[in-house]
Amino acid sequence: MTRYLIAPALPSQPYPFNPPLKLGILASGSGSNMEAIARAIADGELNASIQALIYNNPEAGVAERAKRLDIPAVLLNHRVFESRETLDKHIIQTLQKYQVEWVIMAGWMRRVTQVLINAFPNRILNIHPSLLPSFPGMRAVEQALAAGVKLSGCTVHFVELAVDSGPIVIQAAVPVLPDDTPKTLQARIQVQEHRIFPAAIALAAAEAYSET
């Protein structure tokens, strides 16, 4: 599979952040990206700590992973909040309580509001399973298959208000094979997500701190 990979070389040495980056993860799903980030930290590839996980879906597999990885997990079920802004205010309070500096949307299936963006300016990253700006929004993998593209991939980008928009940090491309299903293409994309997300966090932070 790697022979098809089209992606920038990733840094071989971790950036020497001192103190380590304090990450807060927002996730709604299985949490494989959170685990990839945790593994990169444990392996010394990313100098960071995951301060907390916030998840919005009580059934999400990410909660189990957080338990196993010893990451504090907070459920903020979007259904109990009256508006997106109210949810975001609770997210901010939780992130501040855990002293989070960088917000990592690792499969967060909620639209964010300006309230959250203003609280963490240029400090929110998202991963999306397409080569943005193609196929933003839900069901990106299905959309790519329906469009008949021959290459797809994943994108890590800074978060702006419009869904899946904002400056791109890293992308990786994978082939779309003739017999692909959403499941097989998603799996091929996820291998690359797990590879580029920790690197993108390091790159974004290195650039942000070099500017200050």
Angle between helices 182-211 and 140-147 (to 10 degrees): 120
Q: How many residues bind ligand GRF (CB under 6 A)?
A: 14
Tokens in use for 15?
A: 């950036």
- The CA angle 205-155-136, to the nearest 5 degrees, is 125
User: Is residue 199 at the binding interface for ligand GRF, with CB under 6 A as the rule?
Assistant: no
Q: How far is the CB of 193 from ligand GRF (least distance, A)?
A: 6
* Binding segment toward ligand GRF, per CB under 6 A, in 39-47, 74-82, 124-132, 173-181: 124-132
Conformation bin of residue 201: beta by default, left when phi > 0, alpha when psi is -120 to 50: alpha
DSSP string, 18-46: SSPEEEEEEESS--HHHHHHHHHHHTTSS
Task: State which of positions 98-117 bind ligand GRF (CB under 6 A).
Answer: 106-107
Give the one residue of 20, 32, 101, 182 binding ligand GRF; rule: CB under 6 A: 32
Residue 153 forms beta bridges with which residues? 173
**Catalytic: which of 78, 90, 128, 157?**
128
Distance of CA 172 to the CA centre of its chain: 14
* Binding segment toward ligand GRF, per CB under 6 A, in 22-30, 43-51, 176-184, 200-208: 22-30
**Site for ligand GRF, rule CB under 6 A:** 27, 29-33, 106-107, 127-129, 154, 190, 193
Catalytic residue positions?
Answer: 128
